[in-house]
Chain A
Amino acid sequence: MVVLICLVAWLSPALAARPFRIYAVTYRGATEVERGFADYFAERGIPVEITYRDIALDTARLPALVEEIRRVRPDLVYTWGSGVTLGIVGPWDQADPARYITDIPVVFSLVAAPVNARIVPSMQSSRRNVTGVSHVASLAAQMKVMSAYKAFRCVGLLYSPNEPNALAVLDDLRAEGRRRGFTVQARAFATDAAGKPTPDGVPGLIGELRRAGAEWLYLPPDSFLSTQAKGLVVPAAQQAGLPAFASTEPLMAAGALAGLVSRYYTVGQFAGYKAEQILVNKQSPSRIPVETLTRFSLQIRLTVARRLGLLPPLAMFNYAEMLDADFSAPAKPAVEPTR
């Protein structure tokens, strides 16, 4: 007995120092999110050993990774984006233990709409071994910022009719419009014979929105829209004199006038924080809510603002980050949307 106690006493510091093993699965290589995730542990002095696996946009590789995770049995699995996360944990109501990871805690990051993607039944709890962070500001916060920039009574939207995510955003936007007193003009992308969206006729659709009274073009987190934003949608909007508001950093990078976006690095830190709750504080993932950030960056493209004759109101110089400016000002603070 005494020997046993001595052994435990001798071993325990060694046990404590053993790094946590994390298995990270990414979609298109390491991003700022992973840097923020790893930096979080370093900053908090939590020893971790992260194994990275990348599927290079090919979700067919996921079942093999699930097998590997079963074999290696890490302390925690980290996933990037809706596709990877669904491939590892499955939908919440059809999580077959034979196909998905159910007995190892999973923290996801960069999932735009975790409920719509059926990763979790509600933001409060996944009711299973999963938690994570979203990177999109609430629609209410985005609309508030939009109207602070330029008050509007009608907002326009282009969406992919085959994406449940996009349809969900449209519903939410209409509900928000009823609350805040604005109307929504929505046009679906044209579709091919297979029902997939095509870029045909985008300038015409935008012209329709403009004529229907839209004062902003809202760019929701929509996969097809993201592929067409830079080359087609945003330039067409500018041509029509319609300001575009981006909901994610890539859409902002496509040349939108303004956007309330999260920094990928911070999203990674937040995922690290959730992982800390599980690994160090021994909390069950089902008891950790799925959350989005409380502070986002308001980005404004001044060159576009000038072209559209829509300079931002003075107060926004206090907190917005000006892109493509003639003058490189110091970093600007983030915006705190009211939740």
Chain B
Amino acid sequence: MHANRSPTEIAESAAAPLARLFAVAVLVVLFGVGMSAFLNYFKFQSAVESAARSRMAVPASAVREGVQASLALGLPLASAAAVPDLLARERQADAAIQAISIFDTAGRVRFSTDARAVGTTVPATWLAAAGDAREVWHLVAAGFAVQGLRLRNSFDVPQGSVAVSYTTADQQQALQRMRAALLRIALVGGAGSALLAMLAVWGVLRTWSARHGARARDDGTQGHSAPLQARLAGAILLVAVLGLGGVSWATQRAFDANLQPELARKAAVVARSVGELVGTAIHYGIQMPELVGVEAHLADVRRQHPELARLAILDTRGVPRFAVGEHTLEAGVRVPIGDAAHPLGSVEVGVSAAYLRSILFEVLLDLAVVFVVAAFLTRELLQFITATDPRLGAAPASGGAVLARMRVPLFLFMLAEELTRAFVPGFARALLGASVNVSTDVAVGVPITVFMLVVALGQAPLASWSERVGLRRAMQWGALVGVVGLAGAALAQGFHAFIAWRALCGLGYATVFVAAQGVVIAHTTQAERTRGFALFVGAIMVAAVCGPPLGGILADHVGARAGFAVAAAVALAAVLAVRLLPRDASGAVIASPRLSWRDVVRVLGERRFLHITVLAAVPAKLILASFCFYLVPIYVVSLGAPTAAAGRALMVYAAVLVLVLPWAAHLAERGVSQALLVGGGLCVSALGGFGLLLWSGVAPVFLAMALLGLGQGLSIAAQSSLLSLACAEEIREHGSAALFGAYRLIERLGNASGPLLAGGLVASFGHAGAFALIAALVLACGLLFLLLAGAMRGTQVVAVRA
């Protein structure tokens, strides 16, 4: 499969694949630099937006407190005389405020700093946003945003809302400045890293050929390209890290420069509100030195606004009387207490550098994910080049080269589907709307189940269809159907339409899957087949590592719809990549026998078959589908963590699986019993599910995913080997097709039922309960399997002796 090359040949032909290797290097570093710029930009955007929101929350809550006080005094909302003054005063808090309004539960504006608005009705979107919220609501429109707080009377009955509408023009300007700065950084950083990457590739090839060429000439030994490939990958990734680091460093400075003014504005608003409070106390005849509990209040304010490093109250001579927080290097914002005629002192607020650092640290976490993805991408691309480039000795028509070519569209298509993993359930929930009832949890699982069901039931008929029309063509059509499904999902307006589009995605997925499988069978001999399937599974696994975290990042920053659109674009790239396959790819197809009902019934009569499928295969798929596709994305987001965190958790699963699979094969080779691997793996995979009952937060989800990856890695390969061992008689009499056909079908039905089961359990027992109950079920199956396997071994031994 791998091109076995002598180093001399590589040295001589180094010039030839150089262009392609350069392309790989440039692609990888540009991906890294581009993602870094993208992530930093969106982090900046959310930091600017949240600074503005919390800034507007200060006058909004001041108005709410004042109005609710009037309500407590028994004044009806419509007749509180002090309210207009209060609104006018708070409007001065910030120049960006366009209007502060108070509207009742029917949406009628009762008071507003904009006189024309009084008596009109607020837009339906405002009313909807306010109605959905218990306390705070927020909405963004073109050019302005609204920060709202609900008003309640003294016995908690909603009376309406306070709405502070403010222009986002200044935010847009800040974003524009940041875009310009990032573009410069990305262009310079991208060009620089691309050059450096090419230089590194050239350098590696040169030193390699110098050293190994000489040695090969001396002793005539044959080398292997794998170490070279590792060196190339290392060099490219080193440059990618440098690029990521350099861009992040430069971004940090742009970040600082552009975010500081926004934070200073917020500091001024907070300082003003603290100043007003101190002013009130002083008006009551209390002297500044007499004030009690000032530090406690300042510390409280600082807790609410983590961007602020220091708050201090200064007397009329500028001497600090009270202060909390650490000194900042930059001068803070100073706001006077009292009016100009009677100054009472001032409030000084400094902005925290630690806050900026914490934002950038969050970006680093995402960048680490980008790096992992870049590493897998590099490996994938280099393998493709080594296996397909005739100058590197690969025969273009050979099976290995065809498989390497097939791997590209397969990887791209699977990546497209994996991109959506982390946000499909959340998107489904959003489409269902605010109506929260018991069935919502189940309904969210329906699109996932429909997808799985189409995949499970579609594979057999699609396999024979793809053999009829040709594998290359089938793969192209499948990918195209996937593009349409993903694009449709991106545009879906209703829940039912979304289910239909996901069903189409399932059809595309099943088609590409069986066609790629067909390519492996058609282009490998019996001896090469295991290795061929390893390549096939490898592409899917790499996609599973890279897709979910990238998709989560996309969903967080540009939304799930854009995430589907990107997935559709990647799937389109897969459609084009199918052209890499030679036209005669469908050449030597061995028509696989179709699975008939009679076969299924016969196979189901096998006790050992039932034992393995019902107690091992179905539970394994059940826990996989319910955890990875449903519970993790929904649960992580419900904790308030970003979708990217859900994606990272799914990545942990796939990454552990990738690492464990070869180790499990090694264990099997060393004679560890297959049944033990299957049963033990199943039990291990379930353990993490209980952790969610013990600990809260995201960490136990990561643990559960790692254990799931470990357990599945131990058991899945052993499962099919065990099946062929246990049902050797059936295989001898009828061949393995019916056996494995029925096995895969039942297993995939387990896959499809997972999300529905999870949804039902969430509705009754909550997220942690659902995790634990499914884990308990799977653990019970695993233990029972081990028990029966022991008994079965016993009877086997007895039978042999007899």
Q: Confirm or deny: A14 has a beta carbon within 8 angstroms of a beta carbon on chain B.
A: no
Complex contact A313–B296 (CB within 8 A): yes
Is A192 in the interface zone, CB < 8 Å from B? no
Q: Is the CB of B154 within 8 A of A295?
A: yes
Task: Check A317/B72 contact, CB under 8 A, given A294-B154, A294-B155, A333-B65.
Answer: no
Mask of A317-337 contacts with B, CB within 8 angstroms, 1/0: 111001001110111111000
B284 near A326: Cβ-Cβ < 8 Å = yes
Q: Is the CB of B277 within 8 A of A270?
A: no
Tell me if A130 is interfacial: C-beta within 8 Å of chain B. no
Check: B294 CB closer than 8 A to any chain A CB.
yes
* A117 shortest CB reach to chain B, Å: 21
> In the bound complex, what is the Cα–Cα distance between A36 and B76 (angstroms)?
10
Task: State whether A297 touches B152 (Cβ < 8 A).
Answer: no
Q: Are A333 and B72 in contact (CB under 8 A)?
A: yes
Residues of A within 8 A of B293 (CB): 312-316
Contacts of B154 in A (CB 8 A): 262-263, 266, 269-270, 293-296, 334
Q: Are B74 and A266 in contact (CB under 8 A)?
A: yes
Report chain A residues within 8 Å CB of B292.
311-314
Q: Complex Cα distance A183/B294, Å? A: 28
Most buried by A among B72, B76, B152, B280: B72
When chains A and B are docked, how far (Å) is the Cα of A313 from the Cα of B281?
10
Query: Once the chains bind, are B286 and A311 in contact (CB under 8 Å)?
Result: yes
- Which B residues are CB-close (under 8 A) to A316? 293
Tell me if B95 is interfacial: C-beta within 8 Å of chain A: no
- B762 CB, min distance to chain A CBs, angstroms: 28
Whether A325 pairs with B285 at a CB distance below 8 angstroms is yes
A176 interfacial by beta-carbon distance below 8 Å: no
A-B pairs under 8 A by CB, number: 104
Q: Mark B272-295, 1 if CB is under 8 A from A, else 0.
A: 000001101101111000111110
The yes or no answer to B157 lying at the interface (CB within 8 A) is yes
Interface of A is mostly: mixed
Residue among B70, B154, B286, B300 with max Cβ neighbours from chain A (10 Å): B154
CA–CA, A43 and B76, complex, Å = 8
A302 on the B face (CB < 8 A): yes
Instruction: State whether B69 touches A333 (Cβ < 8 A).
Output: yes
A39 at the binding interface (Cβ < 8 Å): yes
Contact pick for A297, options B72, B76, B294, CB 8 Å: B72
The reply to whether B155 and A330 contact each other, CB–CB distance below 8 Å, is no
Interface residues on B, range: 20 to 34
Q: Which of A263, A311, A331 contacts B82 (CB 8 A)?
A: A331
Q: Give the docked Cα–Cα distance between A326 and B70 (Å).
A: 22
Q: Is the CB of A313 within 8 A of B297?
A: yes
Cβ contacts under 8 Å, A297 to chain B? 72
Given A270-B155, A314-B277, A314-B278, A327-B76 contact (CB < 8 Å) = no
Give the chain A neighbours of B284 by CB distance below 8 A: 302, 317, 322, 325-327, 329
The size bracket of the interface on A is: 35 or more
Cβ of B587 within 8 Å of any chain A Cβ, yes or no, is no
Interface residues of A in 271-316 (CB under 8 A from B): 273, 291, 293-297, 302, 311-316
Q: A326 to chain B: which residues have CB within 8 Å? A: 284-285
Residue among A263, A266, A329 having the largest count of chain B Cβ atoms under 10 Å: A266
Min C-beta distance of B510 to chain A, whole Å: 54
Interface flag for B260 (CB, 8 Å): no
B485 → chain A, closest Cβ, in Å?
A: 48
- B66 interface hit (Cβ, 8 Å): yes
Do the beta carbons of A294 and B152 come within 8 Å of each other? yes
CB distance from A170 to the nearest CB of B (A): 28
Taking CB atoms, residues of chain B closer than 8 Å to A262 are: 154
Q: Is the CB of B157 within 8 A of A295?
A: no
Verify B280–A317 contact, CB threshold 8 A: yes
On chain B, the residues within 8 Å of A317 by CB distance are: 277, 280-281, 284
Chain A residue nearest in CB terms to B301: A315
Chain B residues, Cβ within 8 Å of A302: 284-285
Say which residue of B155, B277, B283, B291 sits within 8 Å of A293 (CB atoms): B155
Interface: A41 (CB within 8 A):
no
User: Can you report 20 residue pairs joining A to B where beta carbons are below 8 Å apart?
Assistant: A265-B74, A266-B153, A266-B155, A273-B157, A294-B152, A295-B152, A296-B154, A302-B285, A314-B292, A314-B296, A315-B296, A315-B300, A317-B281, A329-B283, A330-B82, A331-B73, A333-B65, A333-B68, A334-B68, A334-B154
Which 7 A/B pairs are nearest by Cβ-Cβ distance? A313-B293, A333-B69, A265-B74, A334-B72, A333-B65, A326-B285, A294-B156
Known contacts A266-B74, A291-B155, A334-B72; can you find 18 more A-B pairs with CB under 8 A? A39-B76, A265-B74, A273-B157, A295-B68, A295-B153, A295-B154, A295-B155, A297-B72, A312-B293, A314-B278, A314-B293, A315-B277, A315-B293, A315-B296, A316-B293, A322-B284, A331-B69, A332-B69
